[in-house]
Amino acid sequence: MEASSATTMALRVSSSSSSSSSSSFFSISPNHKPNSLPFKFSTFRPPQPTLLKSLKCIQTPPSNSNPLKQPLKNPRSASPLSCSALTLSSSQTTELVPCKLQTLISEFQALSEPIDRVKRLLHYATLLPPFNDSDRVDSNRVMGCTAQVWLEAKMDKEGKMRFSADSDSEITKGFCSCLVSVLDGASPDEVLMVKTDDLSSLNVGLPGAQRSRVNTWHNVLVSMQKKTKALVAEQQGRPPFEPFPSLVITADGIHAKGSFAEAQARYLFPDESKVEELVNVLKEKKIGIVAHFYMDPEVQGILTAAQKHWPHIHISDSLVMADSAVNMAKAGCEFITVLGVDFMSENVRAILDQAGFEKVGVYRMSNERIGCSLADAASSPSYMSYLEAASRSPNSLHVVYINTSLETKAYAHELVPTITCTSSNVVQTILQAFVQVPDANIWYGPDSYMGANIRELLQQMTKMTDEEIAEIHPEHNRDSIRSLLPRLHYFQDGTCIVHHLFGNEVVDRIKEMYCDAYLTAHFEVPGEMFSLAMEAKRRGMGVVGSTQNILDFIKQRIQEALDRNVNEHLQFVLGTESGMVTSIVAAVRGLLGSARSGGAEINVEIVFPVSSESVTTSSNASPGLNSVKVGDVILPVIPGVASGEGCSINGGCASCPYMKMNSLSSLLKVCHHLPDETNFALSAYEAGRFKLQTPNGKSVADVGCEPILHMRHFQASKKLPEKLISHILHPSGNGSSSVLN
């Protein structure tokens, strides 16, 4: 399309009234000849300035004399809506894009045969103007597309947006051509008001492995909008948002941007003498280590290096830590050191006892309490009141987050039948519970953000088709999801202090600067961040889940890029605790290192969201350190984070102060003093057994482990155990009151 301020468009197409056609998909025959089109297209020609008229998207009756009209296979599905003989003036800003988009939607919906839609899309590919070779650079690449896609955006003298695009795939080129035909020449406001959901009515898709190409609609649109925002800010003289700190990982090394990122990177190459010291003492005394992903970067760097020399070191989320400890005990470890918060060491101690390893010692990394805001919330009087309300409701099930103390699980289980969950299995646990007990009342806690996000996710499911819902859980449909929502309750006064930091300001900056990046978010983040990540997930650009889900998503996207074997810059926003970066960097370097001989240059950038209140200016930055060049992408080195943590009530670079109590010096102290035969040096570090009893006179350890065992049964069989179902339906003995300490 020529870059003029006004364009004449002469098209007449009928729209289909069939709502089902908008969700159908087509396939391409290998024998198909893309040039054999059953219709002709008009070309776009600039009008004479004196003939400009105001655009109106009007309804007109179909004209049989129109040479561009394509007869429908099913005439009854046609409606008379069309945008006919349109002349667009530069003053028109409110109706141009909606009319063009409606024309495009009508155009594809009018074609009932899949092969005709393919032909139409391929023809659009031929209409895309040539792309300048000088614009075919990494900074113009669109992330998240199966094929290579380049997008260039400029603003003309009249303030209208001018877009050009190209791809190495004809199908993808057709997608780009459609979007360019709609948005080229539009005002910035018009470009920004289009939503990805507005494209859902386009009757174009691909089945199976090729269905990911449909994300091109969304990802190219998001890139158009990002470039538009940047150009508007430049025109208005507004400084753009400062970029977040990040680490850029290549096959050749790591580049840190900002002092926070530098602090994270500093320990990715640990002191070899410290690694050797740790390995020697672990081997000598048969000590295993289980550590959470959120460890201090110094500790994680040492542990990751030590893993190469001693197999009994495991870094994971909280669920797997106890399982790993049991495996280490089976392999002959006499002591287990736990790097995490106190409820994690409690769980390790209890699970080892359940597995028959009472003689294996379990040690924490501090002589002080290592707390957790979520675990504390579940030990509060308000949570007890919440559970007492649950105990008075019929067929109640308490779904409690694994990140709570054993004492909480025990006391809760005596009040209400209880099963633990993780951020990766909570949705499936709830859905399965409603299948096995259709009239159940489910009470989730204590994480308020996760509870709200679960409800929001289920609300979104009510808008899906039954087939889409079946992919999430085969025994549910829209009716069942609607019916269960009133009986899903969640505690509203418990948050993780880490994930609480991903608030409005951080979300606004992500929308402005990283809307085209891959977005990862833990299930515990606030609703604004959750909604943003869910939108990205719908177009293949995001993940919402556990720490392990986040790591797996990043690894999968990098592997896909390696398989494509073309130069790429992948950018991931890390919506969880910053300690995750050590495991991510190790995984990324492993993937990139194994593929170095492949030829393609893959750069992976891990972005740490941080609020402006946590950023300081750099007074002594060297002029030579203002940017880092990776390929042809210029990455600015930005000021770092005040106090080195980056925590703020307004946003991210979330770093858990409790987890940081697990220091390298504490780990070495504990290891060197083992075995503690005098029971003096390490008595405050030992994870003791629960000697308390529940209000019903049972062992806290025994009752507290039962909800965990119920979850393990669910993970193995995909069904809640019959013992738990019987407890829900016949809650004898429940209803007694107690007070949590």
| Residues carrying an active site annotation | 145
Joined together, the tokens standing for residue 468 give 């889409």
Residue 626 neighbours by CB distance under 10 Å: 11
Q: φ, ψ for residue 441 (rounded to 5)? A: -110, 120
**Which residue in 306, 285, 349 sits closest to 673, CA to CA?**
285
- Residue at 335: amino acid letter: F
Peptide bond into 239 cis (omega under 30): no
The whole-angstrom separation of Cα 25 and Cα 468 is: 14
Helix 664-673 vs helix 297-306: angle between axes, to the nearest 10 degrees? 50
CA–CA distances in Å: residue 48 to residues 24, 53, 436:
41, 11, 70
The whole-angstrom separation of Cα 226 and Cα 139 is: 12
Q: What 3-state DSSP class applies to 130?
A: coil
Q: What 3-state DSSP class applies to 180?
A: helix
Joined together, the tokens standing for residue 722 give 């019959």
Q: What 3-state DSSP class applies to 82?
A: coil
* 680-699 per-residue burial string, b: 16 or more CB within 10 A, e: under 16: eebeebbbeebeeebeeeeb
Q: Which residues pair with 151 in a beta bridge?
A: 165
Q: What 3-state DSSP class applies to 469?
A: helix
Joined together, the tokens standing for residue 666 give 């504490």
Q: What 3-state DSSP class applies to 336?
A: strand
For 609, residues 6+ apart whose C-beta sits below 8 A from its C-beta are 244, 502, 506, 509, 510, 573, 574, 575, 651, 652, 653
CA–CA distances in Å: residue 467 to residues 23, 24, 134, 189, 267:
11, 12, 45, 36, 47
How many CA atoms, within 13 angstroms, populate the side-chain half-sphere of residue 506?
38
**Which residue in 8, 14, 95 sits closest to 46, CA to CA?**
8
Q: What 3-state DSSP class applies to 131?
A: coil
Cα angle 583, 297, 553 (rounded to 5 degrees) comes to 25
CA–CA distances in Å: residue 739 to residues 385, 387, 689, 695, 720:
9, 11, 20, 9, 28
Reported for 276-282, long-range contacts at CB under 8 A and 24+ positions apart, including other chains, are 277/668, 278/302, 278/306, 278/667, 278/668, 278/671, 279/306, 279/309, 279/310, 281/668, 281/671, 281/672, 282/306, 282/310, 282/312, 282/313, 282/671
Burial of 318 (0-12, 13-18, 19+ CB in 10 A): buried
The whole-angstrom separation of Cα 199 and Cα 441 is: 38
For 630, residues 6+ apart whose C-beta sits below 8 A from its C-beta are 248, 250, 255, 569, 603
Q: Which residues pair with 153 in a beta bridge?
A: 163
Q: What 3-state DSSP class applies to 81?
A: strand
For the sheet with 418-421, list strands across it.
Answer: 418-421, 396-401, 441-445, 488-490
How many CA atoms, within 13 angstroms, populate the side-chain half-sphere of residue 130?
3
Backbone CA torsion sign across 335, 320, 340, 314: positive
